Structure 1
Amino acid sequence: MDETTLYTVGQFELDDFTQPAVAVMLGTQRNNAEYAVHTHRKGQLVVACHGGIVCTVEDGVWMVPTGFGVWIPAGVAHSNRITANGKVGFLFIEPGAATLPEKCCTLVLSPLILELILHLSTLPQDYPPESPTARLAGVLIEQMEQAPSEQLYLPLPASTQLRTIARQLAQAPDNRSNMAEWAKQVAMSERSLARLVKRETGLTFGQWRKQWQIIVALQSLAEGESVQRTAEALGYESVSSFISMFRKTLGASPGRYVRGVGGINLGKRFGGYS
Protein backbone atom coordinates (compact mmCIF):
# COMPACT_ATOMS: atom_id res chain seq x y z
CA MET A 1 0.00 0.00 0.00
CA ASP A 2 1.46 3.34 -1.00
CA GLU A 3 1.67 5.96 1.74
CA THR A 4 -0.16 8.42 -0.48
CA THR A 5 -3.30 6.29 -0.19
CA LEU A 6 -3.57 7.05 3.53
CA TYR A 7 -6.02 9.79 4.44
CA THR A 8 -6.19 11.85 7.57
CA VAL A 9 -9.69 12.19 8.97
CA GLY A 10 -9.64 15.95 8.47
CA GLN A 11 -8.93 15.79 4.73
CA PHE A 12 -12.58 15.47 3.77
CA GLU A 13 -16.00 15.60 5.37
CA LEU A 14 -16.89 11.95 5.88
CA ASP A 15 -20.56 12.64 6.58
CA ASP A 16 -20.95 14.09 3.07
CA PHE A 17 -20.44 10.63 1.54
CA THR A 18 -23.59 8.58 1.01
CA GLN A 19 -21.81 5.30 0.20
CA PRO A 20 -22.74 2.42 2.55
CA ALA A 21 -19.22 2.19 4.01
CA VAL A 22 -16.27 4.58 3.98
CA ALA A 23 -12.89 3.51 5.36
CA VAL A 24 -9.85 5.61 6.23
CA MET A 25 -6.56 5.00 8.01
CA LEU A 26 -5.15 7.62 10.32
CA GLY A 27 -2.07 8.94 8.57
CA THR A 28 -0.61 11.21 11.23
CA GLN A 29 2.62 11.78 13.10
CA ARG A 30 0.71 12.79 16.24
CA ASN A 31 0.89 9.90 18.63
CA ASN A 32 -0.84 9.88 22.01
CA ALA A 33 -3.46 12.06 20.32
CA GLU A 34 -6.83 12.95 21.77
CA TYR A 35 -9.81 14.05 19.70
CA ALA A 36 -12.35 16.31 21.36
CA VAL A 37 -15.99 15.34 21.88
CA HIS A 38 -17.82 15.22 18.54
CA THR A 39 -20.59 13.40 16.67
CA HIS A 40 -21.08 11.92 13.20
CA ARG A 41 -24.14 11.55 10.99
CA LYS A 42 -22.83 8.08 10.16
CA GLY A 43 -22.14 5.22 12.54
CA GLN A 44 -18.44 4.80 13.23
CA LEU A 45 -16.22 1.80 13.92
CA VAL A 46 -12.91 2.83 15.47
CA VAL A 47 -10.33 0.10 14.81
CA ALA A 48 -7.08 -0.40 16.72
CA CYS A 49 -4.56 -1.47 14.07
CA HIS A 50 -1.70 -1.16 16.54
CA GLY A 51 -1.60 -0.04 20.16
CA GLY A 52 -4.96 0.92 21.61
CA ILE A 53 -7.77 3.45 21.74
CA VAL A 54 -9.76 4.77 24.69
CA CYS A 55 -13.22 5.89 23.60
CA THR A 56 -15.32 7.92 26.03
CA VAL A 57 -19.05 8.68 25.84
CA GLU A 58 -21.27 10.33 28.43
CA ASP A 59 -21.89 7.23 30.52
CA GLY A 60 -18.93 4.98 29.84
CA VAL A 61 -15.42 4.26 28.65
CA TRP A 62 -14.37 1.62 26.10
CA MET A 63 -10.85 0.28 25.68
CA VAL A 64 -10.01 -1.04 22.22
CA PRO A 65 -6.88 -3.22 21.96
CA THR A 66 -5.31 -4.39 18.70
CA GLY A 67 -7.71 -6.42 16.55
CA PHE A 68 -10.85 -4.98 18.12
CA GLY A 69 -13.08 -2.04 17.30
CA VAL A 70 -15.53 0.12 19.21
CA TRP A 71 -18.85 0.68 17.45
CA ILE A 72 -20.32 4.16 17.95
CA PRO A 73 -23.85 4.59 16.56
CA ALA A 74 -24.74 7.67 14.53
CA GLY A 75 -25.27 10.81 16.57
CA VAL A 76 -23.56 9.59 19.77
CA ALA A 77 -21.19 12.21 21.21
CA HIS A 78 -17.77 10.72 21.90
CA SER A 79 -14.06 11.40 22.16
CA ASN A 80 -11.14 9.15 21.23
CA ARG A 81 -7.67 8.99 22.74
CA ILE A 82 -5.02 7.02 20.88
CA THR A 83 -2.13 5.46 22.78
CA ALA A 84 1.38 6.73 22.10
CA ASN A 85 2.18 3.83 19.77
CA GLY A 86 -1.27 3.68 18.21
CA LYS A 87 -2.27 3.36 14.57
CA VAL A 88 -5.98 3.65 13.92
CA GLY A 89 -8.54 2.88 11.24
CA PHE A 90 -12.04 4.31 10.90
CA LEU A 91 -15.00 2.70 9.16
CA PHE A 92 -18.08 4.89 8.69
CA ILE A 93 -21.42 3.21 8.00
CA GLU A 94 -24.32 5.04 6.36
CA PRO A 95 -27.48 5.06 8.54
CA GLY A 96 -29.78 2.23 7.51
CA ALA A 97 -27.06 0.37 5.58
CA ALA A 98 -26.44 -2.23 8.29
CA THR A 99 -28.12 -3.91 11.24
CA LEU A 100 -25.68 -3.03 14.00
CA PRO A 101 -26.08 -2.39 17.74
CA GLU A 102 -28.00 0.72 18.77
CA LYS A 103 -25.61 1.34 21.66
CA CYS A 104 -21.83 1.60 21.83
CA CYS A 105 -20.02 -1.72 22.14
CA THR A 106 -16.67 -3.35 21.49
CA LEU A 107 -16.64 -5.74 18.53
CA VAL A 108 -14.23 -8.64 18.03
CA LEU A 109 -13.01 -8.20 14.45
CA SER A 110 -12.14 -11.27 12.39
CA PRO A 111 -9.07 -11.30 10.14
CA LEU A 112 -11.44 -11.01 7.15
CA ILE A 113 -13.11 -7.86 8.51
CA LEU A 114 -9.74 -6.29 9.26
CA GLU A 115 -8.43 -7.07 5.78
CA LEU A 116 -11.59 -5.73 4.13
CA ILE A 117 -11.35 -2.45 6.06
CA LEU A 118 -7.70 -2.16 5.14
CA HIS A 119 -8.39 -2.83 1.45
CA LEU A 120 -11.41 -0.51 1.30
CA SER A 121 -9.32 2.32 2.75
CA THR A 122 -6.97 2.16 -0.27
CA LEU A 123 -9.79 2.65 -2.80
CA PRO A 124 -11.66 5.81 -3.90
CA GLN A 125 -14.42 6.41 -1.38
CA ASP A 126 -16.91 7.95 -3.86
CA TYR A 127 -17.58 4.58 -5.52
CA PRO A 128 -20.82 4.06 -7.55
CA PRO A 129 -23.59 1.76 -6.21
CA GLU A 130 -23.05 -1.23 -8.55
CA SER A 131 -19.25 -1.12 -8.61
CA PRO A 132 -16.84 -3.83 -7.38
CA THR A 133 -16.02 -1.55 -4.44
CA ALA A 134 -19.71 -1.37 -3.52
CA ARG A 135 -19.88 -5.16 -3.54
CA LEU A 136 -16.78 -5.33 -1.33
CA ALA A 137 -18.41 -2.86 1.05
CA GLY A 138 -21.52 -5.06 1.12
CA VAL A 139 -19.47 -8.11 2.15
CA LEU A 140 -17.75 -6.05 4.83
CA ILE A 141 -21.09 -4.89 6.25
CA GLU A 142 -22.45 -8.45 6.28
CA GLN A 143 -19.39 -9.64 8.18
CA MET A 144 -19.66 -6.79 10.67
CA GLU A 145 -23.27 -7.69 11.40
CA GLN A 146 -22.06 -11.11 12.56
CA ALA A 147 -19.16 -9.85 14.70
CA PRO A 148 -19.41 -10.84 18.39
CA SER A 149 -19.18 -8.16 21.07
CA GLU A 150 -16.82 -8.04 24.05
CA GLN A 151 -17.37 -6.31 27.39
CA LEU A 152 -14.33 -4.01 27.37
CA TYR A 153 -16.50 -1.33 28.95
CA LEU A 154 -16.45 0.66 32.15
CA PRO A 155 -19.76 2.30 33.15
CA LEU A 156 -19.20 5.87 34.34
CA PRO A 157 -21.55 6.75 37.21
CA ALA A 158 -23.28 10.10 37.46
CA SER A 159 -23.35 10.62 41.23
CA THR A 160 -20.78 12.86 42.92
CA GLN A 161 -19.73 10.11 45.35
CA LEU A 162 -18.94 7.54 42.66
CA ARG A 163 -17.28 10.11 40.43
CA THR A 164 -15.01 10.93 43.39
CA ILE A 165 -14.06 7.25 43.72
CA ALA A 166 -13.52 6.98 39.96
CA ARG A 167 -11.18 10.00 39.97
CA GLN A 168 -9.15 8.56 42.83
CA LEU A 169 -8.88 5.18 41.10
CA ALA A 170 -7.75 6.92 37.91
CA GLN A 171 -5.03 8.76 39.84
CA ALA A 172 -3.95 5.69 41.83
CA PRO A 173 -4.93 2.40 40.10
CA ASP A 174 -3.07 0.48 42.82
CA ASN A 175 -5.48 1.74 45.51
CA ARG A 176 -6.71 -1.44 47.26
CA SER A 177 -9.18 0.19 49.66
CA ASN A 178 -12.18 -2.02 50.42
CA MET A 179 -15.77 -0.86 50.10
CA ALA A 180 -16.03 0.04 53.81
CA GLU A 181 -13.04 2.36 53.44
CA TRP A 182 -14.45 3.91 50.27
CA ALA A 183 -17.83 4.41 51.95
CA LYS A 184 -16.15 6.29 54.79
CA GLN A 185 -14.29 8.54 52.34
CA VAL A 186 -17.51 9.59 50.57
CA ALA A 187 -19.54 9.88 53.82
CA MET A 188 -21.92 7.00 53.10
CA SER A 189 -22.77 3.74 54.77
CA GLU A 190 -21.33 0.63 53.15
CA ARG A 191 -24.82 -0.62 52.32
CA SER A 192 -25.83 2.69 50.73
CA LEU A 193 -22.67 2.74 48.63
CA ALA A 194 -23.29 -0.83 47.45
CA ARG A 195 -26.85 0.07 46.40
CA LEU A 196 -25.67 3.22 44.62
CA VAL A 197 -23.02 1.37 42.61
CA LYS A 198 -25.50 -1.31 41.59
CA ARG A 199 -28.14 1.24 40.59
CA GLU A 200 -25.80 3.41 38.50
CA THR A 201 -23.56 0.79 36.89
CA GLY A 202 -25.51 -2.47 37.04
CA LEU A 203 -22.49 -4.08 38.74
CA THR A 204 -21.46 -4.85 42.28
CA PHE A 205 -18.68 -2.68 43.68
CA GLY A 206 -16.18 -5.53 43.26
CA GLN A 207 -17.21 -6.11 39.64
CA TRP A 208 -17.01 -2.41 38.85
CA ARG A 209 -13.53 -2.08 40.36
CA LYS A 210 -12.34 -5.20 38.51
CA GLN A 211 -13.68 -3.78 35.26
CA TRP A 212 -11.77 -0.58 36.01
CA GLN A 213 -8.59 -2.64 36.49
CA ILE A 214 -9.15 -4.43 33.19
CA ILE A 215 -9.55 -1.13 31.31
CA VAL A 216 -6.41 0.32 32.94
CA ALA A 217 -4.48 -2.90 32.29
CA LEU A 218 -5.45 -2.99 28.61
CA GLN A 219 -4.44 0.64 28.16
CA SER A 220 -1.09 0.03 29.86
CA LEU A 221 -0.36 -3.12 27.84
CA ALA A 222 -1.45 -1.48 24.57
CA GLU A 223 1.03 1.33 25.26
CA GLY A 224 3.82 -1.24 25.44
CA GLU A 225 4.21 -1.71 29.20
CA SER A 226 5.25 -5.16 30.36
CA VAL A 227 2.85 -7.49 32.15
CA GLN A 228 4.97 -7.21 35.29
CA ARG A 229 4.92 -3.41 35.38
CA THR A 230 1.21 -3.38 34.64
CA ALA A 231 0.55 -5.77 37.51
CA GLU A 232 2.64 -3.61 39.85
CA ALA A 233 0.81 -0.43 38.76
CA LEU A 234 -2.49 -2.09 39.68
CA GLY A 235 -1.22 -3.08 43.12
CA TYR A 236 -0.92 -6.83 42.55
CA GLU A 237 1.60 -8.54 44.83
CA SER A 238 2.47 -11.10 42.15
CA VAL A 239 2.37 -11.21 38.38
CA SER A 240 0.72 -14.62 38.49
CA SER A 241 -2.24 -13.22 40.45
CA PHE A 242 -2.73 -10.50 37.85
CA ILE A 243 -2.48 -12.96 34.95
CA SER A 244 -4.98 -15.27 36.65
CA MET A 245 -7.48 -12.41 37.13
CA PHE A 246 -7.01 -11.29 33.54
CA ARG A 247 -7.41 -14.76 32.06
CA LYS A 248 -10.46 -15.50 34.21
CA THR A 249 -12.11 -12.24 33.11
CA LEU A 250 -11.23 -12.16 29.40
CA GLY A 251 -10.39 -15.78 28.61
CA ALA A 252 -6.80 -15.23 27.47
CA SER A 253 -3.45 -14.20 28.88
CA PRO A 254 -2.65 -10.44 28.81
CA GLY A 255 -0.04 -10.81 26.05
CA ARG A 256 -2.24 -12.88 23.76
CA TYR A 257 -5.28 -10.69 24.31
CA VAL A 258 -3.52 -7.43 23.48
CA ARG A 259 -1.95 -8.96 20.36
CA GLY A 260 -5.51 -9.62 19.17
CA VAL A 261 -7.01 -12.99 20.00
CA GLY A 262 -7.88 -14.78 16.80
CA GLY A 263 -6.89 -11.78 14.71
CA ILE A 264 -3.97 -10.73 12.56
CA ASN A 265 -1.12 -8.47 13.57
CA LEU A 266 -2.05 -5.30 11.74
CA GLY A 267 0.79 -3.52 13.48
CA LYS A 268 3.19 -5.16 11.02
CA ARG A 269 0.96 -4.19 8.08
CA PHE A 270 1.13 -0.54 9.14
CA GLY A 271 4.72 -0.63 10.32
CA GLY A 272 5.86 1.81 7.65
CA TYR A 273 3.18 4.40 8.38
CA SER A 274 2.68 6.68 11.34
Structure 2
Amino acid sequence: MPLLRELPGWLEPDEVDRPIVTYGVPVPTAGHLELTFHSRVKGQLLFSQRGALSCEAEGGLWIVPPQSAIWIPGGKARALRAKGMLEGYTVFVHPAAGANLPAQCCALAVTPLLREMIIRAASFPVDYPDGGREERLVALLLDEISVARVERLHLPMPNDIRLRAIVAEMLDNPAKMRKMSDWARHIGMSERTMARILSRETGMGFRRWRQQLAVLLAVEWLARGSPIQQVAADLGYESAPSFVTMFRKALGTPPRRYMSRRSQRH
Protein backbone atom coordinates (compact mmCIF):
# COMPACT_ATOMS: atom_id res chain seq x y z
CA MET A 1 0.00 0.00 0.00
CA PRO A 2 1.61 3.31 -1.07
CA LEU A 3 1.40 5.04 2.28
CA LEU A 4 5.04 5.22 3.38
CA ARG A 5 7.83 7.47 2.17
CA GLU A 6 10.15 4.46 2.00
CA LEU A 7 8.28 3.01 -0.99
CA PRO A 8 10.26 2.95 -4.26
CA GLY A 9 9.67 6.06 -6.35
CA TRP A 10 7.88 7.88 -3.55
CA LEU A 11 7.78 11.67 -3.79
CA GLU A 12 5.89 13.86 -1.35
CA PRO A 13 2.62 14.43 -3.26
CA ASP A 14 2.25 18.06 -2.12
CA GLU A 15 5.62 18.77 -3.75
CA VAL A 16 4.70 17.24 -7.12
CA ASP A 17 3.67 19.88 -9.64
CA ARG A 18 0.66 17.97 -10.96
CA PRO A 19 -2.96 18.32 -9.85
CA ILE A 20 -3.38 14.54 -9.47
CA VAL A 21 -0.72 12.08 -8.29
CA THR A 22 -1.40 8.33 -7.99
CA TYR A 23 0.74 5.73 -6.24
CA GLY A 24 0.22 1.98 -6.15
CA VAL A 25 1.83 -1.28 -5.15
CA PRO A 26 0.84 -4.18 -7.47
CA VAL A 27 1.64 -6.97 -4.98
CA PRO A 28 0.18 -7.61 -1.51
CA THR A 29 2.17 -6.55 1.53
CA ALA A 30 1.75 -8.03 5.00
CA GLY A 31 2.43 -6.82 8.50
CA HIS A 32 1.29 -3.85 10.55
CA LEU A 33 0.91 -0.28 9.32
CA GLU A 34 0.12 2.68 11.53
CA LEU A 35 0.43 6.36 10.69
CA THR A 36 -0.37 8.91 13.38
CA PHE A 37 -2.40 12.05 12.65
CA HIS A 38 -1.06 14.04 9.73
CA SER A 39 -2.45 16.21 6.93
CA ARG A 40 -1.65 17.31 3.39
CA VAL A 41 -2.65 20.15 1.12
CA LYS A 42 -3.88 17.69 -1.49
CA GLY A 43 -6.94 15.57 -0.89
CA GLN A 44 -6.43 11.83 -0.73
CA LEU A 45 -8.42 8.86 -2.03
CA LEU A 46 -7.32 5.59 -0.39
CA PHE A 47 -8.49 2.53 -2.30
CA SER A 48 -8.19 -1.00 -0.90
CA GLN A 49 -8.08 -3.75 -3.50
CA ARG A 50 -7.34 -6.52 -1.00
CA GLY A 51 -7.37 -6.35 2.78
CA ALA A 52 -8.80 -3.58 4.93
CA LEU A 53 -7.61 -0.42 6.62
CA SER A 54 -9.12 1.94 9.15
CA CYS A 55 -8.95 5.72 9.11
CA GLU A 56 -9.84 8.21 11.80
CA ALA A 57 -10.50 11.76 10.60
CA GLU A 58 -12.87 14.64 11.28
CA GLY A 59 -14.11 13.08 14.50
CA GLY A 60 -15.09 9.84 12.78
CA LEU A 61 -13.83 6.33 12.16
CA TRP A 62 -14.01 4.72 8.73
CA ILE A 63 -13.32 1.13 7.70
CA VAL A 64 -12.15 0.57 4.11
CA PRO A 65 -12.78 -3.06 3.04
CA PRO A 66 -11.81 -4.54 -0.36
CA GLN A 67 -13.15 -2.63 -3.38
CA SER A 68 -13.92 0.45 -1.30
CA ALA A 69 -12.14 3.72 -0.74
CA ILE A 70 -12.13 6.66 1.62
CA TRP A 71 -11.96 10.23 0.40
CA ILE A 72 -10.16 12.72 2.68
CA PRO A 73 -10.27 16.38 1.56
CA GLY A 74 -7.08 18.42 1.64
CA GLY A 75 -6.13 19.89 4.99
CA LYS A 76 -8.00 17.28 7.01
CA ALA A 77 -5.93 15.44 9.61
CA ARG A 78 -6.11 11.67 9.45
CA ALA A 79 -4.61 8.61 11.18
CA LEU A 80 -4.34 5.29 9.34
CA ARG A 81 -4.04 1.72 10.55
CA ALA A 82 -3.91 -1.67 8.82
CA LYS A 83 -3.02 -5.22 9.85
CA GLY A 84 -2.26 -8.23 7.67
CA MET A 85 -2.37 -8.40 3.89
CA LEU A 86 -3.05 -5.10 2.18
CA GLU A 87 -2.93 -4.11 -1.48
CA GLY A 88 -4.17 -0.83 -2.81
CA TYR A 89 -3.65 2.57 -4.35
CA THR A 90 -3.84 6.18 -3.28
CA VAL A 91 -4.78 9.19 -5.38
CA PHE A 92 -3.75 12.69 -4.28
CA VAL A 93 -5.84 15.56 -5.67
CA HIS A 94 -5.04 19.27 -5.52
CA PRO A 95 -7.98 21.26 -4.07
CA ALA A 96 -8.28 23.33 -7.25
CA ALA A 97 -8.73 20.16 -9.32
CA GLY A 98 -11.12 18.49 -6.88
CA ALA A 99 -13.76 21.19 -6.61
CA ASN A 100 -16.50 18.67 -7.48
CA LEU A 101 -15.36 16.10 -4.95
CA PRO A 102 -17.00 15.75 -1.51
CA ALA A 103 -16.19 18.49 0.98
CA GLN A 104 -16.23 15.99 3.87
CA CYS A 105 -14.58 12.63 4.51
CA CYS A 106 -16.63 9.70 3.25
CA ALA A 107 -16.36 6.02 2.31
CA LEU A 108 -16.94 5.35 -1.40
CA ALA A 109 -17.80 2.22 -3.37
CA VAL A 110 -15.29 1.58 -6.16
CA THR A 111 -16.76 0.35 -9.44
CA PRO A 112 -14.73 -1.83 -11.83
CA LEU A 113 -14.33 1.19 -14.12
CA LEU A 114 -13.04 3.43 -11.33
CA ARG A 115 -10.71 0.67 -10.12
CA GLU A 116 -9.14 0.21 -13.55
CA MET A 117 -8.71 3.96 -13.97
CA ILE A 118 -6.92 4.19 -10.62
CA ILE A 119 -4.64 1.30 -11.52
CA ARG A 120 -3.89 2.83 -14.91
CA ALA A 121 -3.15 6.25 -13.40
CA ALA A 122 -0.72 4.63 -10.96
CA SER A 123 1.41 3.50 -13.91
CA PHE A 124 1.97 7.10 -15.06
CA PRO A 125 5.13 8.96 -14.07
CA VAL A 126 4.38 11.53 -11.37
CA ASP A 127 5.47 14.28 -13.79
CA TYR A 128 3.28 13.08 -16.67
CA PRO A 129 3.12 15.59 -19.57
CA ASP A 130 0.49 18.30 -19.71
CA GLY A 131 -2.10 18.04 -22.48
CA GLY A 132 -1.55 14.33 -23.17
CA ARG A 133 -3.62 11.20 -22.69
CA GLU A 134 -2.48 10.97 -19.07
CA GLU A 135 -4.06 14.32 -18.28
CA ARG A 136 -7.27 13.30 -20.04
CA LEU A 137 -7.49 10.05 -18.10
CA VAL A 138 -6.95 11.66 -14.69
CA ALA A 139 -9.69 14.18 -15.55
CA LEU A 140 -12.06 11.26 -16.18
CA LEU A 141 -10.83 9.66 -12.98
CA LEU A 142 -11.97 12.71 -11.03
CA ASP A 143 -15.38 12.52 -12.70
CA GLU A 144 -15.77 8.89 -11.61
CA ILE A 145 -14.77 9.69 -8.03
CA SER A 146 -17.29 12.54 -7.92
CA VAL A 147 -20.21 10.18 -8.73
CA ALA A 148 -19.09 7.21 -6.59
CA ARG A 149 -21.70 5.86 -4.18
CA VAL A 150 -21.20 6.68 -0.51
CA GLU A 151 -21.07 3.58 1.73
CA ARG A 152 -22.30 3.18 5.33
CA LEU A 153 -18.90 2.42 6.81
CA HIS A 154 -18.58 5.40 9.13
CA LEU A 155 -18.75 5.72 12.89
CA PRO A 156 -18.97 9.22 14.44
CA MET A 157 -16.47 9.55 17.27
CA PRO A 158 -17.09 11.64 20.41
CA ASN A 159 -14.65 14.35 21.46
CA ASP A 160 -15.36 14.18 25.19
CA ILE A 161 -12.26 12.73 26.86
CA ARG A 162 -14.34 10.49 29.14
CA LEU A 163 -16.27 8.99 26.25
CA ARG A 164 -13.03 8.54 24.31
CA ALA A 165 -11.82 6.37 27.19
CA ILE A 166 -14.88 4.16 26.68
CA VAL A 167 -14.20 4.00 22.94
CA ALA A 168 -10.64 2.85 23.59
CA GLU A 169 -11.86 0.08 25.90
CA MET A 170 -14.49 -1.05 23.42
CA LEU A 171 -11.95 -1.23 20.62
CA ASP A 172 -9.57 -3.22 22.82
CA ASN A 173 -12.30 -5.61 23.95
CA PRO A 174 -15.42 -5.41 21.75
CA ALA A 175 -16.94 -8.48 23.43
CA LYS A 176 -17.32 -6.56 26.70
CA MET A 177 -21.07 -5.98 26.46
CA ARG A 178 -21.61 -3.55 29.33
CA LYS A 179 -24.90 -1.72 29.61
CA MET A 180 -24.90 2.02 29.13
CA SER A 181 -25.53 2.51 32.85
CA ASP A 182 -22.43 0.41 33.64
CA TRP A 183 -20.26 2.39 31.24
CA ALA A 184 -21.54 5.68 32.70
CA ARG A 185 -20.72 4.51 36.22
CA HIS A 186 -17.31 3.33 34.99
CA ILE A 187 -16.34 6.87 33.95
CA GLY A 188 -18.03 8.65 36.85
CA MET A 189 -20.88 10.11 34.82
CA SER A 190 -24.65 9.83 35.11
CA GLU A 191 -26.41 7.81 32.43
CA ARG A 192 -28.46 10.85 31.39
CA THR A 193 -25.33 13.01 31.00
CA MET A 194 -23.56 10.33 29.01
CA ALA A 195 -26.56 9.93 26.70
CA ARG A 196 -26.79 13.70 26.17
CA ILE A 197 -23.08 14.11 25.35
CA LEU A 198 -22.99 11.07 23.06
CA SER A 199 -26.06 12.26 21.16
CA ARG A 200 -24.71 15.80 20.84
CA GLU A 201 -21.27 14.71 19.60
CA THR A 202 -22.20 11.73 17.40
CA GLY A 203 -25.87 12.18 16.53
CA MET A 204 -26.54 8.65 17.80
CA GLY A 205 -27.93 6.94 20.86
CA PHE A 206 -25.69 4.50 22.72
CA ARG A 207 -27.28 1.31 21.39
CA ARG A 208 -27.14 2.41 17.77
CA TRP A 209 -23.59 3.74 18.17
CA ARG A 210 -22.35 0.47 19.68
CA GLN A 211 -24.02 -1.54 16.91
CA GLN A 212 -22.35 0.59 14.24
CA LEU A 213 -19.01 0.00 15.94
CA ALA A 214 -19.68 -3.75 15.79
CA VAL A 215 -20.51 -3.50 12.07
CA LEU A 216 -17.28 -1.69 11.25
CA LEU A 217 -15.14 -4.10 13.25
CA ALA A 218 -16.92 -7.05 11.65
CA VAL A 219 -16.23 -5.75 8.14
CA GLU A 220 -12.57 -5.23 9.00
CA TRP A 221 -12.15 -8.71 10.49
CA LEU A 222 -14.06 -10.44 7.70
CA ALA A 223 -11.85 -8.69 5.16
CA ARG A 224 -8.83 -10.21 6.90
CA GLY A 225 -10.33 -13.68 6.49
CA SER A 226 -11.77 -14.30 9.96
CA PRO A 227 -14.67 -16.81 9.92
CA ILE A 228 -18.15 -15.55 10.77
CA GLN A 229 -18.35 -17.67 13.94
CA GLN A 230 -15.13 -16.16 15.24
CA VAL A 231 -16.22 -12.59 14.42
CA ALA A 232 -19.54 -13.15 16.21
CA ALA A 233 -17.75 -14.48 19.30
CA ASP A 234 -15.17 -11.67 19.31
CA LEU A 235 -18.00 -9.12 19.24
CA GLY A 236 -19.76 -10.76 22.19
CA TYR A 237 -22.68 -12.35 20.34
CA GLU A 238 -24.03 -15.56 21.85
CA SER A 239 -24.56 -17.12 18.42
CA ALA A 240 -23.51 -16.59 14.82
CA PRO A 241 -27.15 -16.29 13.60
CA SER A 242 -27.81 -13.33 15.91
CA PHE A 243 -24.71 -11.60 14.57
CA VAL A 244 -25.72 -12.33 10.96
CA THR A 245 -29.16 -10.82 11.61
CA MET A 246 -27.61 -7.63 13.00
CA PHE A 247 -25.17 -7.39 10.07
CA ARG A 248 -27.92 -7.88 7.48
CA LYS A 249 -30.11 -5.21 9.05
CA ALA A 250 -27.21 -2.75 9.12
CA LEU A 251 -25.76 -3.29 5.62
CA GLY A 252 -28.66 -4.91 3.76
CA THR A 253 -27.00 -8.27 3.09
CA PRO A 254 -25.56 -11.18 5.15
CA PRO A 255 -21.82 -11.02 5.88
CA ARG A 256 -20.85 -13.97 3.67
CA ARG A 257 -22.62 -12.47 0.65
CA TYR A 258 -21.28 -8.99 1.46
CA MET A 259 -17.68 -10.18 1.33
CA SER A 260 -18.27 -12.53 -1.63
CA ARG A 261 -19.54 -9.64 -3.77
CA ARG A 262 -16.36 -7.71 -3.03
CA SER A 263 -14.09 -10.60 -3.96
CA GLN A 264 -16.00 -11.01 -7.24
CA ARG A 265 -15.16 -7.44 -8.31
CA HIS A 266 -11.50 -8.29 -8.93
In the superposition, the TM-score normalised over structure 2's length comes to 0.90
The one-letter amino acid paired with 1:213 is: A
Q: How far 1:13 moved relative to its partner?
A: 1.9
Q: Which residue of 2 aligns with 1:206?
A: 207
Equivalent-residue separation in structure 2 for 1:203 and 1:55 (angstroms):
20
Q: Which residue does 2:196 correspond to in 1? A: 195
- Residue of structure 2 equivalent to 1:66: 66
Rounded to whole Å, the distance in 1 between the matches of 2:241 and 2:130 is 53
Within 2, Cα distance between the matches of 1:36 and 1:204? 29
Contact 2:61–2:157 at 8 Å: present in 1 too? Answer: yes
Asked if 1 retains the 8 angstrom alpha-carbon contact of 2:58 and 2:105, the reply is: no
Give the match for residue 112 of structure 1.
Answer: 113
Please say if 1:167 is aligned against 2:168: yes
Residue identity in the other structure for 2:68: F
Q: List runs of 5+ in structure 2 lacking aligned partners.
A: 1-5
Given that 2:174 and 2:235 are in contact with CA atoms closer than 8 Å, whether structure 1 keeps it comes out as: yes
Q: How far apart are 1:25 and its partner, in Å?
A: 0.9
**1:35 Cα offset (Å):** 2.1
| Structure 2 residue 3 is the aligned partner of structure 1 residue 14 | no
Structure 1 window deviating more from structure 2 (74-83 vs 109-118): it is: 74-83
- SS at 2:188 equivalent: coil
- Residue aligning to 1:242: 243
Matching residue of 2:3:
none
Q: Distance in 2 between matches of 1:39 and 1:217?
A: 28
What is the identity, as a one-letter code, of the residue corresponding to 1:48? S
- What displacement does 1:261 show? 4.5
Report what 1:84 is aligned to: 84
Q: CA deviation at 1:86?
A: 1.1
1:110-147 alpha-carbon deviations (Å, 9 max, x no partner): 11001100111112221223101111111111111101
> Greater relative contact order: 1 or 2 (C-alpha under 8 angstroms, separation 6 or more)?
1
2:150 is matched with 149
Distance in 2 of aligned mates of 1:128 and 1:10 = 18
Q: What is the identity, as a one-letter code, of the residue corresponding to 1:148?
A: R
- Partners of 1:221 and 1:185 lie apart in 2 by 31
Residue aligning to 1:4 = none
Relative to structure 1, is the Cα distance of residues 171 and 29 closer, same or farther in structure 2, using a 3 angstrom cutoff? closer
Identity %: 36
Flag the 1:211–1:40 CA change in 2: closer, same or farther, 3 A.
same
1:25 match: 24
| 1:260 Cα deviation from its structure 2 partner | 5.2
Structure-1 residue corresponding to 2:265: 264
Confirm or deny that 1:224 pairs with 2:225.
yes
C-alpha distance in 2 between matches for 1:29 and 1:235 = 30
Which residue matches 1:37? 37
Do 1:67 and 1:259's aligned partners in 2 also have CA atoms closer than 8 Å? Answer: no
Q: 1:262 to 1:150 in 2, by over 3 A?
A: farther
Shift of 1:50: 0.5
Provide closer, same or farther for how the CA distance between residues 86 and 67 of structure 1 changes in structure 2, counting only shifts above 3 A: same
249-258 or 142-151: which moved more?
Answer: 249-258
3-state SS of paired residue (1:150): coil
Residues 1:153 and 1:237: Cα distance change in structure 2 (over 3 Å): same
Gaps of 5+ in 1: 1-6, 266-274
C-alpha distance in 2 between matches for 1:207 and 1:164:
18
- TM score, norm. by length of structure 1: 0.88
Inter-CA distance 19–259: structure 2 relative to 1 (3 Å threshold): farther
CA contact (8 A) 1:127 1:133 kept: yes
Change (3 A) 1:30 1:226: closer
1:110 and 1:262 in contact (8 A); partners too: no
How far apart are residue 58 of structure 1 and its match? 5.2
- Between the aligned partners of 2:161 and 2:136, the Cα distance in structure 1 is 50
